[in-house]
Amino acid sequence: MLAGALLLSPSETAEANRISVGPADASTRLYPMLDGRMSAPREVALTVPQALMSASPMLASNYSVDSVLHHRRSASEDDFIDTVPGPEAILSPVDILETPESQAEPIVANAAEWRSFKVQSGDSMSRIFDRAGVDGKTLKRLLDNVSNKEWTRLYPGEELDFAFDADNNFVALQLRRSKLETWLIKEDVHERFALEKIVVEPDSMVTYAEGKIKTSLFLDGKAAGLSDKLIMELANLFGWDVDFVLDIRKGDSFRVMYEKQFLDGKHIADGPILAAEFVNQGKSYAAVRYKSATGQVDYYTPEGASVKKAFLRSPVDFARISSPFNLQRRHPILHKIRAHNGTDYAAARGTPIKATGDGRVVVLEKQRGYGNVVVVQHGSGITTLYAHMNNFRKGIRIGSKVRQGDVIGYVGSTGLATGPHLHFEFRVNGAPKNPVTVALPVARPVPKKERPQFANIATTLVSQLNREANAHQLVMNNGKDSQSDL
């Protein structure tokens, strides 16, 4: 059983109302426990009303073998801690039936009519304004008045809503950036156009899922109810310690606690992973999402060490090793013994290649053997090399700073290569090291002054995850008993 801590506690009453975006910290609102407010919980049994279950089948389906939901009410009316499920689906009392429609028209006092226009490929803002019957002078006023020009960026499929008064004069523009975010441009009291960003706060529920590896993390994650996004997040979370191509074995297992977000009674997205555990070949790796005093959100082990290393183990997601590090390898093209100072990852042409650590690009060129190659200089005498690229990422150049995980290029077969793959080298003070086995430097742990608070959260929350796991097993056992009785 996991001996660390996992998260978490979303707000019970996250109302789906439109609010103006300001400096408010949504993470603090959703995860109050990360601020250190650890009030003792008290039990409240909250059965989901039949009307709510009928209105939102998605919520009803959450109470299953793969996903058990239950919430314990804390002394604070807004705080929740996930806990053991009872005999019936018990959820936070979110009144989704009273949630306002996400696409409701914004309040514009003098708007008599709204007209919608969908962005087509090749559209420009002036072209859409022409279609809407709004002249160029008005568009120029908007451009002059609104300093933030992000609103002029258009994406195919987006909808722009134009508001007109009773005399058919343009009065406002609404851009639907996503299901949760809308931008509204209208005249202020000074008769100047101003941009207001409006968000719809979704209802959030903590969800638990677990599974065992039978074939692959992707397939077995899907079987456990995880989305593609969550599976990739899980792989990235433990990718510093586990190579999900080479290391994964049948019988490995995972547990995940994450948020599901609902709007107007419909599941619209998965929120972040709050906590997770992955058991690989009998060794347990655990992570908890934690927000520092400075507002930085990151993942740490239950002991407070960063789950990140200063370097990613692999620069390509879910690629197989086609040729390992071997100082006595016979070159497949030159047909003579030539040291293979790196690891080759076979992947489809165009697959993104990520920088494995923070650094600066010191080489970006085409060479005879390496083809299109990038070398990144990191601290402590470490360099990484990425060769045979099909092409470099647009905008990257010698001297560019890169962060861990940034895409720097794409898999190809330039130079001396028999097919599309990435040749990756890891060097320390110029000496080649095996990228698969080299000991990677670790990232910073929880700040020292915050460790007591983190320890309290960790101690409290580890039992939370264990209870979820026990409850899940109980449901599984009850299901088996019921089948045996038939």
What's the pLDDT tens digit per position in 121-162? Answer: 888 889 999 999 999 999 999 999 988 888 888 888 888 999
pLDDT surpasses 90 at 230:
yes
> For the residues of 241-305, what is the DSSP string, one character each?
T--TTTT--TT-EEEEEEEEEEETTEEEEEEEEEEEEEEETTEEEEEEEEE-TTS-EEEE-TTS-
pLDDT surpasses 50 at 41:
no
pLDDT surpasses 80 at 485:
no
Ranges 24-38, 285-299, 353-367: which has the least confidence: 24-38
Tokens, residue 345? 């990852």
pLDDT surpasses 50 at 355:
yes
pLDDT confidence bin for 231, thresholds 50/70/90 = very high
pLDDT confidence bin for 402, thresholds 50/70/90 = very high
- Specify the 3-state DSSP secondary structure of 313: coil
pLDDT the model gives residue 471: 83
For the chain, give the mean pLDDT: 75
pLDDT surpasses 80 at 179:
yes
pLDDT the model gives residue 381: 82
pLDDT the model gives residue 224: 94
What is the rounded CA–CA span in Å between residue 221 and residue 255? 10
Q: Report the pLDDT averaged over residues 413-442.
A: 88
Query: pLDDT: is 147 or 277 the higher one?
Result: 277
Query: pLDDT: is 302 or 39 the higher one?
Result: 302
List, as own/partner pairs, every contact residues 116-119 make where C-beta atoms lie below 8 angstroms and the sequence separation is at least 24, other chains included. Answer: 116/159, 116/160, 116/161, 116/162, 117/159, 117/160, 117/161, 117/162, 118/157, 118/158, 118/159, 119/154, 119/155, 119/156, 119/157, 119/158, 119/159, 119/160
pLDDT the model gives residue 390: 95
pLDDT the model gives residue 173: 92
pLDDT surpasses 70 at 18:
no
pLDDT confidence bin for 480, thresholds 50/70/90 = low
pLDDT surpasses 90 at 442:
no
pLDDT the model gives residue 411: 95
pLDDT surpasses 90 at 409:
yes
pLDDT the model gives residue 31: 29
What is the rounded CA–CA span in Å between residue 6 and residue 4? 7
pLDDT the model gives residue 98: 33
What is the rounded CA–CA span in Å between residue 341 and residue 433? 7
Ranges 77-81, 245-249, 351-355, 478-482: which has the least confidence: 77-81
Query: pLDDT: is 20 or 4 the higher one?
Result: 4
pLDDT confidence bin for 290, thresholds 50/70/90 = confident
Tokens, residue 311? 């370097």
pLDDT the model gives residue 383: 93
What is the rounded CA–CA span in Å between residue 467 and residue 474? 10
Q: Report the pLDDT averaged over residues 354-379.
A: 92
The pTM assigned to this predicted structure is: 0.55
The segment with the largest mean pLDDT, out of 85-99, 105-119, 214-228, is: 214-228
